[in-house]
Amino acid sequence: MSIDKSNFKKINAYTWQIPQTFRSDMRVPAIIFASEKMLDDILQDRSIEQLINVTTLPGIRKAALVMPDAHEGYGFPIGGVAATSFPNGAISPGGIGYDINCGVKLLKSDLEASSLNHHQGLLARRLYEEIPSGVGHGGRLTLIEKRLDEVLVKGAAWIVDNGYGEKEDIHFIESEGCLDNADPQAVSDHAKKRGKDQLGTLGAGNHFVEVDVIDEIFDETIASTFGLSLNQVVVLIHTGSRGLGHQVATDYIRIMNQSMTKYGINVPDRELACAPLSSPEGTAYFNAMAASANFAFANRELIAWEVRKVFKEMFGERLSTLYDVAHNIAKIEEHVINEKKRSRKKVIVHRKGATRAFGPNSPELIDEYSLTGQPVLIPGSMGTASYVLAGTTEAMELSFGSCCHGAGRTLSRHAAKAQISGKKLKIDLEEQGIFIQAGSISDLAEEAPLAYKNIHDVVDVVDKVGIAKKVARLRPAVVVKG
C-alpha cells in the first residue's frame, strides 16, 4: 500500500496523524511527531507502514506513535511507542526489539573542560583498555548459572552487592535498576550461555562510552537541580543486554509466531508476533524481558565501575550518576486513556527506540526529580552532540510519557564507508577536539556523523511538541567504540 503526505492529517507543525480509516485493520490512528521535512525523509523507508501495522495489535489504546528519529525496524519502527490494555492486551517482543533495555547512563564529574587538555588521547586509550568491547569479546566476569540468575533477578544491585558499583547509584536508575517480575526460569539456556561472560562489555555497532563537555545550558533551573553546569565534564554509557537479550527476543518471537493462532491473533508482519500478556507465552516473555532488562542495568553499572576506575586513576575524581534510562523496553504503567473521564488506567507501554520522559509530579519519579520531570538522555552520533532533556506533563498527555532516543540512521554502514574512510574521519574528529579509540578504524566510518539524522533537529521537534524540554547539550571530547 503506498503512503504519501496526502494521507496525513496535519495536527500542528510537528504532529501528523493517519486516521484509523486509512486501512481496514487499523484499531487506532497512527501519530508521527516530525517536522514536514523530516516526514518527507521518514516516508523514504517503511517506517510509516510499520507504524500502521502496529495499530492492528490486539488491545492497542489511543494511538500508535513514532518519534522524529524514526527509521525502519523489525515489526515496530525504531522510535515507536504503543500502549495495550492490561492485562489481556498484546505484548509483542518486536515492540521492544532485539536489544532489550538498550539504554543510557550519565555520570557527572566535578571536572571542568580544561582538565581534559592534553589528556584526551590517554583517557581514550585507558577507557578502551578497561572496558571490553567489540564482537564476541568477554568481560572481566564469567558467571556460573546460579550467579547469572542472581543478576537476572537483582539487576544493578547485584553489581553493587559484589563490590563493583556504588550504592547511591541504585536510587538514580529507572525502576532502581531492577524490574521485579524478572524470572530467570523464563530465560533459555541458550540465552544464558550467550550472556554468561558479557557483563561489563560494550559490544559493537552504535554502542559507546563517551566523555562529554556541557557546552550549552537551555534551562538553568532544571540543570541546577540535575547538578549540571556549563563546561562540566560528564560521561555517557550507551549499551544494553548484549547477547542474552538478543537471544531472549529471538526465542520469544519464535514462540509467539507459533502460538498466535491459539489466541485468534493475526498480524500483518511476523516480527509483530504477540500474545496476550495474561497468556502463558505473554507472561513468560514479559518476565524474561524483565530479566534481560536487569542484566542490562547491571551491565551499565559494571561499565560505570570501569569508567570510574580510569577517572580515579587519571584525575583522582569520583563520578556520580544523574540517571540511567532504558529506550527498548515494555512496562506496565498508568496513563489517561479516555480524555473525558481523565481516570488513569493500567496499560502495557512498549517503547522501541523511545525513552521514558515522565513529567513533574509523576508518582513513579524519585523526589529529586519530582518537580522537574525525569532526566531524559539522548545520545547523538560521535561527532555531533548529545542532549539531556527533562520529561514533561505534555508527554504524559501526548505520548504515554515518552520521547525520542537518539538521532536515527539515514545511511547504511556500507554507504557511510563509501563516503569517508575511518582513518580520515578519526583525523577530522581529532581536529575538532574529539578523540576516538575504536576496535576497528576502518569500521569507524560506519558510525560517522553523516550516517545519522541531525540530532539538533530531532531534539528541537520533541522540545517544540512539548514531550520533553531541552536542558543541556553535550559536546563529545573522547569516544570509545567496539
b or e along 78-109 (b: 16 or more beta carbons within 10 Å of the residue's beta carbon)? bbbbbbbbbbebbbbbbbbbbbbbbbbbbbbb
Backbone angles phi, psi at 21, to 5 degrees: -75, -10
405 tagged catalytic: yes
Q: Is there binding between residue 262 and another protein (CB under 8 A)? A: no
Scan residues 67-126 and list those touching another protein (CB under 8 A).
71-75, 78, 98-99
CA atoms of 214 and 195, how far apart (whole Å): 34
What is the Cα–Cα distance from 242 to 260, expressed in whole angstroms?
A: 27
- Find the binding residues for another protein in span 177-196 (CB under 8 A): 190, 193-194
> Interaction with another protein in 133-152: which residues (CB under 8 A)?
134-136
Site for another protein contains 337 (CB under 8 A): no
CA distances (Å), origin 265, targets 21, 64, 186, 274, 324: 21, 18, 23, 8, 35
428 binds another protein (CB under 8 A): no
What minimum distance in Å lies between the beta carbon of 220 and another protein? 37
Tell me which residue has cell 524478572.
182
- CB nearer another protein, residue 73 or residue 155: 73
Whether the Cβ atoms of residue 401 and residue 344 lie closer than 8 Å to each other: no
Residues 363 and 327: their CA atoms lie apart, in Å, by 20
With contact defined as beta carbons under 8 Å apart, do 199 and 302 qualify?
yes
Binding flag, residue 438, another protein (CB under 8 A): no
Eight-class DSSP state of 8? P
Rounded least distance, CB 145 to another protein, Å: 14
Told to check if 243 binds another protein by CB under 8 A, we report yes
- Whose Cβ is closer to another protein: residue 249's or residue 438's? 249
Our finding on whether 361 is near another protein (CB under 8 A) is no
Among 257, 370, 393, 421, binds another protein (CB under 8 A): 257
Question: Which span (107-115, 247-255, 336-344, 468-476) binds another protein, by CB under 8 A?
Answer: 247-255
Considering the complex, state which of residue 112 and residue 443 has its C-beta at the smaller distance from another protein: 443
CB of 196 or CB of 331, closer to another protein: 196
Q: Which residues are CB-neighbours of 76 under 8 A, at least 6 positions away?
A: 50, 51, 54, 82, 92, 94, 95, 97, 271, 272, 350, 352
Of 120, 110, 45, 99, nearest to 77 (Cα)? 45
Q: Does 271 bind another protein (CB under 8 A)?
A: yes
Q: Which stretch binds another protein (CB under 8 A): 51-59, 143-151, 243-251, 291-299?
A: 243-251
The residue (of 29 and 77) whose beta carbon lies closer to another protein is 77
β-pairing verdict for 468-481 and 435-438:
parallel
- Of the candidate spans 18-26, 264-272, 280-288, 381-389, the one that interacts with another protein by CB under 8 A turns out to be 264-272
Query: Alpha carbon of 155 to those of 102, 192, 221: distances in Å?
Result: 14, 15, 32
Q: How many Å apart are CA 275 and CA 3, to the nearest integer? A: 28
**Residue (98 or 286) nearer to another protein, CB:** 98
- Candidates 361, 415, 423, 427: give the one binding another protein (CB under 8 A): 415
From 110-118, 198-206, 278-286, 472-480, give the range in contact with another protein by CB under 8 A: 198-206
Nearest approach, Cβ of residue 279 and another protein (Å): 18
Check if the beta carbon of residue 71 is closer than 8 Å to that of residue 408: yes
For another protein, how many residues bind (rule: CB under 8 A)? 38
> Between residues 49 and 210, which has the closer beta carbon with respect to another protein?
49
Nearest residue (CB) to another protein, 74 versus 226 = 74
Task: State yes or no: residue 280 binds another protein (CB under 8 A).
Answer: no
Taking CB under 8 A as the rule, does residue 412 contact another protein?
A: yes
CA dist., res. 397 & res. 4, Å (int): 27
Residue 268 as a binder of another protein (CB under 8 A): the answer is no
204 interacts with another protein by CB under 8 A:
yes
Per annotation, catalytic residue among 137, 405, 414, 456: 405
A 10 A CB-CB count for 129 gives: 12
Comparing CA positions, the residue from 406, 405, 404 lying closest to residue 381 is 406
Cell of 266: 493475526
Q: Which residues bind another protein (CB under 8 A)?
A: 45, 71-75, 78, 98-99, 134-136, 190, 193-194, 203-205, 243, 246-247, 249-250, 253-254, 257-258, 269-271, 409-415, 482
Point out the residues that are catalytic: 405
